[in-house]
């Protein structure tokens, strides 16, 4: 961090917030078809608080995000969770698009990595093991039991509660069908992922050993880093560093320098920016909503 060019890191933080602004606006667009008109700042504050929470407890942020928005906008928690899951589904689709582009653009690098690190035969062999077969039999038996007893289960108190939760959840998922501004929705979806890519690529220039790497290397590094963040560790800690280090090694960057770059990017975005703006949002959201009353 001492040797990093701080001007590039400031730009990276700016791009990080641009992506969050687009995500907040996209969430507002998801909620409008259900008759809700949430305030943009409440959407942004809720997202930043969620990111901050994920640093401590992996995947808890989604529930915090829905709970915060529900509290300040009086929107059904279940419907909010439906839109958040939809948000994540769109992110996964976007990630697969990025992987597809990377496969074509940097196919030689990606292919070499797969040959060295992905032994599919060993992984498929697990499916033939006794443990896997027993697990599949138990799962099948439970599925048959639930199907046979479905009416009794659905008419019970817990069943009715679960049915209500699922209905609200599905309403949130189906919100995309009635998006009032589909082109704006698509625009913000593209902006989010373009900013993610630029954050990774421009961060290269902040660190001398990676400053000569190409945009193609930036795309593959971004893809590896995104996969690391998907892993259920606190804020992607560890998994992000390992995968980015492995990726940069394929481009001739020594692992020590690869780890240093990963640490610079992680500290800048996931620790400093996420913690700063998350805490700021936590402080500002009650003040903002008190002023609205």
Structure tokens at 15: 């791009």
Q: Which of 154, 6, 145, 175 is nearest to 76 (CA)?
A: 175
Q: Are 76 and 111 in contact (CB under 8 A)?
A: no
Please give the helix or strand (H or E) that residue 38 lies within, else none: none
Q: Per residue in 35-59, pLDDT tens? A: 888 999 999 999 999 989 888 777 7
Res. 251 pLDDT band, cuts 50 70 90: confident
pLDDT at 120 over 50: no
CA separation for the pair 223, 102 (Å, rounded): 8
Structure tokens at 92: 């996964």
Give CA separation, 80 vs 58, 205, 258, in Å: 19, 39, 39
Res. 192 pLDDT band, cuts 50 70 90: very high
Structure tokens at 207: 């660190």
pTM over 0.85: no
Q: What is the CA radius of gyration of the chain?
A: 22
Q: Per residue in 64-75, pLDDT tens? A: 999 999 999 988
Q: Which of 182, 219, 186 is nearest to 200 (CA)?
A: 219
CA separation for the pair 47, 23 (Å, rounded): 8
pLDDT at 263 over 70: yes
Would residue 72 be called left, alpha or beta, if left means φ above 0 and alpha means ψ between -120 and 50 degrees? Answer: alpha
Residues present in the chain in total: 293
């Amino acid at each position: 961090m001492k040797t990093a060019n701080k001007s590039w890191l400031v730009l990276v933080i700016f791009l990080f917030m641009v992506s969050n602004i687009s995500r907040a606006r996209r969430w507002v667009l998801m909620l409008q078809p259900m008759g809700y008109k949430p305030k943009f700042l409440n959407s942004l504050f809720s997202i930043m608080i969620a990111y901050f929470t994920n640093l401590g407890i992996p995947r808890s942020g989604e529930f915090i995000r829905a709970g915060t928005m529900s509290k300040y906008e009086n929107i059904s928690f279940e419907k909010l969770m439906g839109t958040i899951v939809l948000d994540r589904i769109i992110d996964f689709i976007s990630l697969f698009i990025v992987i597809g582009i990377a496969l074509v653009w940097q196919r030689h690098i990606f292919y070499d990595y797969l040959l060295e690190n992905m032994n599919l035969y060993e992984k498929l062999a697990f499916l033939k093991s006794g443990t896997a077969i027993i697990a599949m039999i138990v799962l099948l038996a439970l599925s048959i039991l639930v199907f046979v007893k479905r009416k009794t289960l659905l008419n019970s108190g817990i069943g009715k509660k679960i049915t209500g939760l699922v209905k609200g959840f599905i309403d949130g998922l189906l919100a995309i069908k009635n998006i009032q501004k589909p082109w704006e929705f698509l625009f913000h979806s593209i902006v989010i992922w373009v900013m993610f890519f630029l954050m990774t690529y421009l961060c290269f220039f902040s660190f001398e050993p990676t400053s000569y790497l190409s945009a193609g290397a930036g795309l593959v590094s971004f893809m590896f880093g995104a996969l690391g963040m998907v892993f259920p560790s606190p804020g992607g800690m560890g998994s992000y560093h390992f995968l980015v280090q492995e990726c940069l090694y394929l481009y001739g960057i020594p692992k020590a320098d690869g780890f240093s770059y990963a640490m610079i990017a992680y500290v800048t975005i996931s620790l400093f920016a996420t913690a700063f703006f998350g805490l700021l949002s936590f402080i500002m959201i009650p003040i903002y909503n008190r002023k609205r009353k």
